[in-house]
Structure formats: structure tokens, C-alpha cells
């Protein structure tokens, strides 16, 4: 199964960075005003989803799902659920981190949803990459300038960080005290991050 790339309408300024992370094999879903990025990204939609309140329906040959404007799911969340229904196992979300904090936080929570059903997922923006750390250890290379760990799900216990400037062993990070910000991978190594109970949001900052 191909990777599913979902393109939202938040701003993208470093298209060169984002394009390097795309593959010709990807299936790409554009969500409403995410269509503003189509030409700069240089990709063809596999599917278009939206209520078209922020971008007109382009009426091109790609499959298009027109949504009502009054609904529980945002266009992006609907696109994710539709892609899950179609059987995708790996997801990449771009154009989902922007000036609207409510949409940004809602889109970050999509990572929790996908992790909870066993899917692999990342969010890319102009400067960082985000993913969930839960049952399996995650490794961060020293090519990243910094990495941060945030509790966004209520429980993150048995947190262990190795090969980093600020290591942890069987620690807890709470929503009330987010002390896992701006860590650094030791040069020449990969940092190893694991969580015994709960989940953490890993944000890797590019050099």
C-alpha cells in the first residue's frame, strides 16, 4: 500500500524542504484550501476533499468528495478518516500547522488518533517533524538540531531517553510540567526514546 500524503491549507513557505520528503509513489489528498499548494508542490491529487469554503472546487479530473459546511469533522480530519477507510497504513500530513492554533492543535491530535489504530504517521512543517512515541522506541539522528517531547495525552510514564544531552531513565512527563523541551542528540549517535505507559509527542527540529 502506498503512503497517503494529506495536504491542508495552512501556510507552507519552504516548499523545497517539503518536496524533498515526497515520493512519486505517494497518493496525495488535498483538503480544500490545501489546493493552493498544488502547483508549488508539483504533485497531482489522488483525491480532493472539502466543503470549499476557503477554495473553489477546481472541477478537475481527480476524484472529489464535496462535504457539507456544517459537520463535526474538519476537512483534514475527514480526509484522514477516509484514507483509513481505504486501507492506508502510513500517513504524512503537510500544510496542517499554521496561524490558527485551534486547527493546529486539532491536527496534532490526528497523530494520536492514527497511533491509536496502529497507523504510522508524521506531520511536517517548514522547520520540524512530529510523530507519536508510544509502544515502540523511536530513534532521532544527530542531523536534527533539537528534539522535544511533550505530553499531550494525559499519561507519559516510564520515559527513557538515551544518547542525548539530557538523558532520562524511567521518568514521567506530565501535561502540567513539560520539561522535555529542546534536548540534543549526542554527536555521532542516535537518541533512543521510549515510553512504558502512555504517549508523547516527539518534535524534531531540523538543523
Rounded to the nearest integer, the mean pLDDT of the chain is: 95
Do 72 and 139 reside in the same domain of the chain?
A: no
174 and 197 inside one domain? yes
Residues 113 and 29 in one domain: yes
Q: What is the dihedral of CA 130, 135, 136, 138, to 10 degrees?
A: 30
Q: What is the pLDDT of residues 142-199, one digit of tens each?
A: 999 999 999 999 999 999 999 999 999 999 999 999 999 999 999 999 999 999 999 9
The reply to whether 75 and 152 lie within a common domain is: no
Q: pLDDT tens digits, residue range 69-102?
A: 888 999 999 999 999 999 999 999 999 999 999 9
User: What pLDDT, on the 0 to 100 scale, is given for residue 1?
Assistant: 77
Indicate which CATH number applies to the domain containing 196: 2.60.120.320
CATH (domain of 32): 3.40.50.10240
Residues 111 and 201: beta-carbon distance below 8 Å = yes
In a shared domain, residues 108 and 179 = no
CA angle 7/42/102 to nearest 5° reads 20
What is the CB-side half-sphere exposure of residue 99 using CA atoms within 13 A?
4
pLDDT in tens, 106-139: 999 999 999 999 999 999 999 999 999 998 999 9
Domain endpoint, select from 126, 155, 189: 126
Based on the fold, state whether residues 172 and 198 are members of the same structural domain: yes
Whether 109 contacts 145, CB under 8 Å: no
Mean pLDDT of 39-43: 96
Task: Assess whether 76 and 149 both reside in one domain.
Answer: no
Q: Which of 126, 147, 175 is the last residue of a domain?
A: 126
Residues 21 and 110 occupy one common structural domain: yes
Q: What are phi and psi of 133, to 5 degrees?
A: -105, 120
β-pair partners for 140: 191
Q: Are residues 154 and 197 in the same domain?
A: yes
Torsion sign (Cα): 98, 99, 101, 102: negative
Q: Do 144 and 99 have their domain in common?
A: no
Number of domains in the chain: 2
pLDDT bracket for residue 207 (50, 70, 90): confident
- Please identify, among 126, 159, 193, the residue that sits at the C-terminal boundary of a domain: 126
Query: What domain range is 109 assigned to?
Result: 4-126
Co-location of 98 and 145 in the same domain: no
pTM of the model: 0.93
Claim to verify: residue 113 and residue 141 sit in the same structural domain? no
End-to-end CA distance of the chain: 31
Residue 179's region, left for phi above 0, alpha for psi from -120 to 50, else beta, is alpha
Cβ atoms within 10 Å of 152's Cβ, excluding its own: 16
For residue 156, give the nearest of 130, 176, 127, 126 by alpha carbon: 176
Amino acid at each position: 500500500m502506498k503512503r497517503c500524503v494529506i495536504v491542508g491549507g495552512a501556510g507552507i513557505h519552504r516548499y523545497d524542504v517539503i518536496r524533498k520528503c515526497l515520493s512519486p509513489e505517494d497518493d496525495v489528498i488535498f483538503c480544500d484550501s490545501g489546493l493552493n499548494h498544488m502547483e508549488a508542490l508539483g504533485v497531482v491529487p489522488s483525491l480532493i476533499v472539502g466543503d470549499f469554503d476557503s477554495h473553489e472546487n477546481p472541477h478537475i479530473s481527480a476524484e472529489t468528495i464535496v462535504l457539507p459546511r456544517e459537520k463535526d469533522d474538519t476537512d483534514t480530519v475527514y480526509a484522514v478518516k477516509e484514507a483509513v477507510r481505504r486501507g492506508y497504513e502510513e500517513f504524512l500530513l503537510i500544510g496542517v500547522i499554521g496561524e490558527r492554533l485551534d486547527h493546529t492543535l486539532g491536527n496534532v491530535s490526528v497523530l494520536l488518533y492514527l497511533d491509536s489504530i496502529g497507523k504510522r504517521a508524521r506531520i511536517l512543517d517548514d522547520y520540524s517533524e512530529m510523530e507519536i512515541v508510544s509502544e515502540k522506541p523511536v530513534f532521532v539522528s544527530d542531523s536534527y538540531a533539537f528534539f522535544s517531547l511533550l505530553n499531550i495525552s494525559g499519561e507519559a510514564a516510564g520515559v527513557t531517553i538515551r544518547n542525548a544531552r539530557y538523558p532520562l531513565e524511567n521518568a514521567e512527563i506530565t501535561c502540567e510540567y513539560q520539561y522535555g523541551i529542546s534536548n540534543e542528540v549526542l554527536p555521532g549517535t542516535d537518541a533512543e526514546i521510549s515510553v512504558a505507559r502512555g504517549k508523547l509527542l516527539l518534535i524534531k527540529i531540523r538543523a
